[in-house]
């Protein structure tokens, strides 16, 4: 049994194995944290963009109310609708009343 600075070769080998395992564990944890950080950053950016989009739609609604015009907005097929200013909705008995002024595209079929 050879001793190096008070440790046997077997002890040093075992210590090296344990250190490698700890490093691998730390790398896995860092990967998870990095992934979680990327997801949080993406969600924050998406949330900000959705807020901007909501503000723009609200602005469009105000313009439509002032001008008495309708407009449609669709994110994707089956995910859209038409905004009707209050005056137009009152004059058109075909549409179901809506608190928001929005009528889904499927309700217009």
The per-residue pLDDT for range 36-64, each reduced to its tens digit, is 999 999 999 999 999 999 999 999 999 99
- Whether the pTM exceeds 0.85: the reply is no
Q: What is the pLDDT of residue 6?
A: 80
**pLDDT confidence of residue 40:** 93
Name the token pair of 101: 């002024």
What is residue 97's DSSP assignment? P
Residue corresponding to tokens 């995910």: 79
pLDDT of 60 reads 96
Distance CA 63, CA 107 (A): 24
Enumerate residue ranges in the chain where pLDDT < 70.
Answer: 1-4, 88-98, 108
């Amino acid at each position: 049994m050879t001793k190096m600075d008070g440790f046997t070769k077997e002890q040093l080998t075992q210590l090296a194995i344990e250190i490698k395992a700890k490093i691998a564990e730390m790398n896995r944890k860092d990967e998870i944290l990095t992934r979680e950080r990327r997801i949080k950053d993406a969600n924050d950016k998406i949330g900000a963009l959705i807020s901007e989009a909501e503000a723009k739609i609200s602005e469009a609604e105000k313009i439509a109310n002032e001008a008495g015009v309708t407009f449609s907005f669709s994110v994707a097929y089956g995910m859209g609708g038409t905004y009707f200013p209050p005056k137009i909705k009152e004059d058109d008995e075909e549409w179901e009343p809506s608190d928001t002024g929005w009528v889904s595209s499927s309700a217009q079929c």
